[in-house]
Amino acid sequence: SAPAVSPQVGSHRDISHESLSLFRLLEPQIEILVLGTGDRVERLHPAMLKQMRECGIAVEVQDTANACATFNFLTNERRLVAAGLIPP
């Protein structure tokens, strides 16, 4: 699994159905998407999270430092994981 950053996302406000669509196209399909929202955890629109769940992808939203740690942990566990990280 490789981390991916969508270039049009500068803050958590830019996270959209469109920016998350990249993660639904990955092959093999990921199980978990870890989103790092910068210096602090930010709430994302529930409909976006629901759409990802309906595609079979769990979403973890954390501050970026914890998101990096979670991504590394899940990678070590051999999970199919991707990360979208906004710099703190």
E-strand stretches of 3-74: 32-37, 58-62
Residues pairing with 62 in the sheet: 36
In the chain the domains, ranked by start, together with CATH numbers, are 12-85 (3.40.1230.10)
39-70 pLDDT per residue, tens: 999 999 899 999 999 999 999 999 999 999 99
Task: Residue 83: name the closest of 27, 47, 35, 44 by CA.
Answer: 35
Residue 71 has pLDDT above 90, yes or no: yes
pLDDT of the residue at 19: 83
Contact, 23 vs 57, CB < 8 A? yes
- What band does 6 get if pLDDT is binned at 50, 70 and 90? very low
Question: Model's pTM, two decimal places?
Answer: 0.85
Share of the chain above pLDDT 70, in %: 90
